[in-house]
Amino acid sequence: MSSVSQWFADNQSNWNDRAAQHEAAGYGIAELVANPDAVSSELAPDLPRFGSLTGRDVLHLQCHLGTDTVGFARRGARRVVGLDLSDESLRRAEQITRACGVQVEYVQANVYDAREAVRGQFDLVYTSLGVLCWLPDVDRWAQVVASLLRPGGQFFIRDDHPMFMTVGEDVSQGLKIELPYFQREQPCTWESEYSYMPVPEGTPPLTHRRNHQWNHSLSEIVTALIRAGLVIDVLEESTWSHWCPWPELMVREADGRWRLRDNPDRLPLEFVIEAHR
């Protein structure tokens, strides 16, 4: 097995285990099931960017448990497809989607194989939060995204800012840049018993604890999309995040998002890119 194949095999096993932990953590699933009009808190702020979804075809890349994917079906999309590397995540996504009373097609595939794995083209290709760090080659990713869009189709990504991802885990002495901002061929490899979500006491640890991640500079991401033939319409950077890696340094605002408690304007935490073919 090649190094790249082993990295993806490790990540798939890791995410298969994470699926159970994330469902145990809640992940907003109960709210989606209880309220037929609900959409995830991650998707809701960005829905106005897409306009009317009625009659449109939507593809959600790296969809995990499908909690965002459900929202597109609930807002009138004609066809909704969720694609993910983790077969266990998709098994649980199908159960959640049925409980929500909507129809979504789920496809298990590496995102690099999405063009071969999914039929047709789409009016909107969406991917969000914690996605690019799992991919070693953003040029290839961007080419896949472009191939999945109809002419005039819209692409949207929200993700952790690459500068945010350079800060080391130990912040007891403040924020320190310890990890690469620019892409390296070799990934950063991590071993952890738990994912990023707080879980109930007694939740079993991950069996497959190793994962591999890559950081990609903002210029690398933007240039990859341009090279793939997409037109960049919006590039935004923000001082807030949807998750909290440093509880001692961050505060949760009324909108549920996290910001640095002191001098939040010193570090970008997320970015958004909107583009079209």
pLDDT, block means (10 residues), the chain with 277 residues: 91 95 92 97 96 97 98 98 98 98 98 98 97 98 98 98 95 94 92 84 90 97 98 98 94 93 96 98
Q: Which residues, 6+ apart, have CB-to-CB distance to 263 below 8 Å?
A: none
Q: What is the pLDDT of residue 1?
A: 66
Rounded to whole angstroms, the Cα distance separating 196 from 55 reads 36
Furthest-apart CA atoms within the chain: distance in Å: 52
- Write out the H or E segment, with its range, that includes residue 122: strand 122-128
Count the Cβ atoms, other than its own, within 10 Å of residue 169: 10
Please choose, from the candidates 165, 160, 157, the residue with its C-alpha nearest in 3D space to the C-alpha of residue 181.
165
Q: How far is CA 167 from CA 59, 164, 266, in A?
A: 32, 6, 12
- DSSP 3-state assignment of 108? strand
Q: What is the pTM of this model?
A: 0.96
Query: Does residue 54 contact residue 31 with C-beta atoms inside 8 Å?
Result: no
